[in-house]
């Protein structure tokens, strides 16, 4: 089966710092992959290379059959196929919630306003925020903002969703509502790669957990194995911090 995403021998350095050192990773359709690892291990950089926010030094990145690491590829064309949510600063503060959700569909994909807003309102209704459509993001809680950021990321029906520690900046009581939405998307078959520190959530939702240490995939497999019974000492050491 064709992978939705495939990284082959990916290297990335910032000056003398080698951040990704030979990453091989394939993500299947409908698969949810959780990237775990200490701060600085390269999780965000890996996600950013997929979205072409960082250009790689060596290797290849394929989205379906397209080599998106080819320097001639237009970043915009790739980004319109991938939804992304970061830790914070996801929403445009000067746009209403509905305009945030419909922006990419209208201006990147050229979907007519009425149609984009119809789908946008449907998505907001689905996360219980239909009545916030005309509000500005600062009127929403952090959890509501992140849920809007997620529906904005899927409003264009991307082939792949990248989530980078989307609950790290939230108050603990707001984490659950955001993770519930990610779980819903998984159940609908969305292909997701997410960096996370939420081990219980990774165990519950991920099909595969990938442990990254200093830019290398040390160990990967089903959550019950990697999170409960890891083989590699470095994985054990890392997980010991969470118990």
For ligand ADP, which residue of 19, 33, 101, 179 counts as binding (CB under 6 A)?
Answer: 19
How many residues at the interface with ligand ADP, by CB under 6 A? 11
For ligand ADP, which residue of 43, 79, 152, 186 counts as binding (CB under 6 A)?
Answer: 43
Tokens of 138: 């600062």
Residue 148's contacts (CB-CB under 8 Å, 6 or more residues apart) are: 91, 97, 100, 101, 124, 127, 129, 132, 137, 140
Q: Exposed, middle or buried, 12 (CB in 10 Å: 0-12/13-18/19+)?
A: buried
Binding partner of residue 235 among ligand ADP, Mg ion, none, CB cut-off 5 to 8 Å per kind: none
Nearer to Mg ion, 6 or 43 (CB): 43
Q: How far apart are alpha carbons 193 and 164 in whole angstroms? A: 8
Residue 11's closest CA among 68, 37, 49, 67? 49
Q: Which stretch binds ligand ADP (CB under 6 A): 36-44, 153-161, 199-207, 235-243?
A: 36-44
Q: How far apart are alpha carbons 240 and 213 in whole angstroms? A: 15
Rounded to the nearest whole angstrom, what is the least distance from the CB of residue 41 to Mg ion in the complex?
Answer: 8
Q: Which residues inside 167-206 make contact with Mg ion, applying CB under 5 A?
A: none
For Mg ion, which residue of 41, 44, 49, 190 counts as binding (CB under 5 A)?
Answer: 44
Q: Are 124 and 148 within 8 A, CB to CB?
A: yes
- Residues written for the chain: 243
DSSP letter assigned to residue 216: E
For ligand ADP, which residue of 10, 31, 36, 41 counts as binding (CB under 6 A)?
Answer: 41
Rounded to the nearest whole angstrom, what is the least distance from the CB of residue 189 to ligand ADP in the complex?
Answer: 27
DSSP letter assigned to residue 73: S
Tokens of 85: 């949510």
Check binding of 56 to ligand ADP (CB under 6 A): no
Q: Which stretch binds Mg ion (CB under 5 A): 15-23, 27-35, 42-50, 181-189?
A: 42-50
Q: Which stretch binds ligand ADP (CB under 6 A): 38-46, 115-123, 144-152, 228-236?
A: 38-46
Check binding of 36 to ligand ADP (CB under 6 A): no
Cα 76 to the chain's mean position, in Å? 17
For ligand ADP, which residue of 4, 44, 116, 210 counts as binding (CB under 6 A)?
Answer: 44
What residue ranges bind Mg ion (CB under 5 A)?
Answer: 43-44
What residue ranges bind ligand ADP (CB under 6 A)?
Answer: 14, 17, 19, 37, 39-45
């Amino acid at each position: 089966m064709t992978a939705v995403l495939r990284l082959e021998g990916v290297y990335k350095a910032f000056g003398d710092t080698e951040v990704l050192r030979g990453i091989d990773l394939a993500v299947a359709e409908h698969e949810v992959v959780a990237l775990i690892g200490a701060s600085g291990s390269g999780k965000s950089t890996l996600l950013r290379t997929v979205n072409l926010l960082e250009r790689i030094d060596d290797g290849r990145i394929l989205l379906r059959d397209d080599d998106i690491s080819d320097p001639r590829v237009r970043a915009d064309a790739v980004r319109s196929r991938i939804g992304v949510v970061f830790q914070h600063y996801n929403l445009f503060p000067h746009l209403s919630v509905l305009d945030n959700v419909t922006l990419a569909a209208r201006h990147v994909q050229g979907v007519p306003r009425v149609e984009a807003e119809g789908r946008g309102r449907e998505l907001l209704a689905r996360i219980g925020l239909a009545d916030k459509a005309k509000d500005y993001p600062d009127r929403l809680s952090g959890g509501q903002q992140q849920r809007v950021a997620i529906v904005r990321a899927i409003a264009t029906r991307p082939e792949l969703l990248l989530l980078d520690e989307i609950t790290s900046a939230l108050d603990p009581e707001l984490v659950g509502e955001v993770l519930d939405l990610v779980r819903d998307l998984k159940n609908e078959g969305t292909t997701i790669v997410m960096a996370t520190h939420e081990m219980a959530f990774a165990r519950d939702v991920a099909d595969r957990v990938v442990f990254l240490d200093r830019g290398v995939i040390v160990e990967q497999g089903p959550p019950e194995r990697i999170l409960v019974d890891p083989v590699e000492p470095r994985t054990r050491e890392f997980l010991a911090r969470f118990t």
